[in-house]
Structure 1
Amino acid sequence: MMLNSSEKFPTPDATEHFVEQINEQLSQGIFDAENSQLLEGMVEALADKRGLVRLSLVEAFGKIGQPAVPFLVEALTHHSNPVVRRSSAKALAKIRQPDTISHLIGAMVKDEDTVVRSSAAGALAGIGSAALPALLEVIAGEYPEPVKGQATWAIARAGVEAVEPLHLALKSDKTDIRLAALEGIAKIAEEHGDELSQNAILSVLQDDDLEVRLEAIASLSRFPSQVALPKLIPLLEDDNLEVVQRAILALGKLGEPEVLPILQAKLAEKREGIAQFVKIAISQLKCR
């Protein structure tokens, strides 16, 4: 049974004193992680209106680790106060335990509070590759687009250790899963210069699914220019108008001055909307 925060901490000063005691015990190595009443009190203190107090408690939970998980999961799942649920998800993000994945997924897809959902997504991203199967199930499932968007966001931030399962997901027959995998692979390629990830994206530039193809083209703007330019420039002559538009925007984002004459030549393009996209790309180049 969770303690009532108004009874446990009747004043802000009482909460602050409690948090100071917790931090002092942790710094001295004398915190009793088996004291359930103490951990319940910490959870209830997450209702404090002061962000710095809640942050201090979240950091403390991160130091406590596994013993705090059942109390945080209970609060995330059942607490009536959304502020407590939000901070519980953030505390679980510090602990990064795979056995919390199902609870975090539940919060991400079901909680009525948008901050709770985004905090749960952040915790899932922190867990990394272990959370990918559950996140991909959300992508493939019958969930609202905002929920799928948060799952995609988490997948994209799962880290370089997720590269192999993401490559497998890129071969899925489901477009939503492949798009989410592309986002994650592109981020890994950008941040780590991973050649395998770059090649995986290059391999779907001529994909049969236009949506996948367009996302792959957009991803090239995050690549080194020596890799992206030889792939993007030929796409300016593609028969598909959307492909040409996406390639133009990617060239603008790359910011390489050498493509300016190529883009300027496309201003004479007669196909609808191309010249307007070229102007946007040129303005991006000139702003760099």
Structure 2
Amino acid sequence: MTPELQAQHDRTDAFMAEITQQITMHQFDTTDQVLLKRMVEEGFSDTRGVMRLRFAETLGQIGEPATPVLLEAVSSHPNEVVRRASAKTLTLIGDPTAVPTLLHAFLNDPDQVVRSSSVGALARTGEVSVPPLLDILASETADQTTKGHAAWALAFIGAEATEYLTPALNSDSLDVRCAVIGAIVKVVQDQPSEKLLNILISALTDPEPTIRNDVAAGMAQINSPETIPHLILACRDSDVDVRKAAVSSLGKVGDESALETMRSLLNDDENVVRVLAKVAISQLEQRLADDDWD
């Protein structure tokens, strides 16, 4: 380590010690934007990841008063390490006022880590981020990586997004509808809802095979007995991917009533379905045998 770098580390350590003392003594002024900006500038420019983390956690504890300086850094700081750390810190705060800046960074920052950190922060802001995330999913210009991150954020938001999910299932955009299915699966998995489960069950007959496939695959995560008869019907779907998803899910959540249909898939026209059916039957029979010992 060079003497210059050691001196910089010593200054940063002393600054953190000063801040910690002020917070401990309840003397820290959360309205001091100059001080907060210095924390972002000096703390996040430090070459040590552990020190950047300490500043991030401290700013996260300070909360919304730190939002303006963090947003300024995310939007315009020339050092991508500072932008990354600022976006990650906004994840800790979850301030809804950060959404416009985070959206811009998510869509436009040249650094991949800044973009992914920004969408993580968007997810933590909750319901307020849902409409712009749906807009991204419906966009014809956003690439699939961006849409994938937006779909992840929508699923992460989960139950807070519920009021937007059902209407969005009628979107003209397949990307939106697929993301909404994923989000509904996550909500039902975490907080069982008869209404949302019935929406998923209805989607098993959607005219778009991609939707049917996503729903059939999602049923394995929900693990509800109510889905079994509908998955059995999906095993006869005209689309091979839907049949694959349905039989795989039945292997994980099915009961004895599914065995006859699953065995019929051993004669399916597609080899991959026959192989999956064999595996799923084995899984189900093993689970039924284990249940006999309960």
TM-score w.r.t. the length of structure 2 is: 0.87
Tell me the distance in 2 between the aligned counterparts of 1:10 and 1:287: 64
- Residue 138 of structure 1 deviates from its aligned partner by 0.9
Aligned residue for 2:97? Answer: 99
Q: Which residue of 108, 112, 115 corresponds with 1:110?
A: 108
Q: Which residue of 2 aligns with 1:19?
A: 16
Q: Judging changes above 3 Å, is the alpha-carbon distance between structure 1 residues 247 and 195 closer, same or farther for their aligned structure 2 residues?
A: same
Structure 1 residue 273: Cα displacement: 2.7
Q: Does 1:251 align with 2:250?
A: yes
d(CA) in 1 for partners of 2:111, 2:286: 39
Of the structure 1 ranges 161-170 and 129-138, higher mean CA displacement relative to structure 2 is found in 161-170
Normalised by the length of structure 1, the TM-score is 0.88
- The answer to whether the aligner puts 1:221 opposite 2:220 as a matched pair is yes
Give 3-state SS (helix, strand or coil) of 2:81's partner: helix
- 1:159 partnered with 2:173: no
User: Cα deviations across residues 9-30 of structure 1 (Å, max 9, x unaligned)?
Assistant: 9422321222232233223321
Q: Is the 2:228–2:255 contact (alpha carbons within 8 Å) kept by the matching residues of 1?
A: no
What fraction of aligned residue pairs are identical, expressed as a percent? 37
For structure 1, which segment, 8-17 or 221-230, has the greater mean C-alpha deviation from structure 2 after superposition?
8-17
The Cα RMSD (Å) is: 2.4
Is contact 2:201-2:227 (8 Å) kept?
A: no
Deviates more, 1:237-246 or 1:73-82: 237-246
Unaligned runs of 5+ in 2: 288-294
Matches within 5 A, 1:100-139: 100-139=98-137
Cα deviations by residue, 1:40-90 (Å, 9 ceiling, x for unpaired): 211121122322222221121122222211110111111122221111011
Equivalent residue number for residue 34 of structure 1: 31
Task: Give the corresponding residue for 2:208.
Answer: 209
User: Are the aligned partners of 2:231 and 2:246 in contact in 1 as well (CA < 8 Å)?
Assistant: yes
Deviations 1:122-172 (A, max 9, x none): 111111111001111111111111111111110001131221112221222
* Counterpart-to-counterpart distance in 1, 2:284 and 2:136: 38
Contact 2:158/2:184 (8 A) holds in 1: no
Indicate how the Cα distance of structure 1 residues 8 and 271 shifts in structure 2: closer, same or farther if over 3 A, else same: closer
Deviation at 1:267, TM superposition (A): 2.1
Which amino acid is the alignment partner of residue 246 of structure 2? Answer: A
Residue of 39, 43, 62 corresponding to 2:40: 43
Deviation at 1:262, TM superposition (A): 5.0
- For residues 66 and 202 of structure 2, what CA distance do their matches in structure 1 show? 45
Shift, 1:244, TM fit: 1.1
* Contact 1:236–1:248 (8 Å) recurs in 2: yes
Q: Which residue of 2 aligns with 1:3?
A: none
Aligned position for 1:84:
82
Note if contact 1:251-1:281 (Cα within 8 Å) is conserved in structure 2. Answer: yes
Aligned equivalents of 1:72, 1:257: Cα separation in 2: 56
Partner of 2:176: 177
Q: What is the letter of the counterpart of residue 104 of structure 1? A: L
What whole-Å deviation, never above 9, does each CA across 1:218-252 have from its counterpart, x for those lacking one? 11112233122111112212233222112112223
The answer to whether the 8 A contact 1:9-1:15 is kept is no
- The question of whether the paired residues in 2 share the 8 Å contact of 1:101 and 1:131 is answered with yes
Aligned length: 282
Aligned-partner Cα distance in 1 for 2:6–2:134:
41
Verify the 8 A CA contact 1:75 1:84 in the aligned structure 2.
yes
SS in 2 for 1:112: coil
Q: 1:174 to 1:13 in 2, by over 3 A?
A: same
Structure 2 CA distance for partners of 1:37 and 1:151, relative to 1, 3 Å: same
> Are the structure 2 counterparts of residues 9 and 93 from structure 1 closer, same or farther at C-alpha, using a change threshold of 3 Å?
farther
Matched, 1:266 2:257: no
Mapped partners of 2:227, 2:145: distance in 1: 31
Find the residue that maps to 1:159 and give its secondary structure: helix
Residue 93 of structure 1 contacts residue 124 of structure 1 at CA under 8 Å; is this kept in 2? yes
Match for 2:40: what amino acid?
V
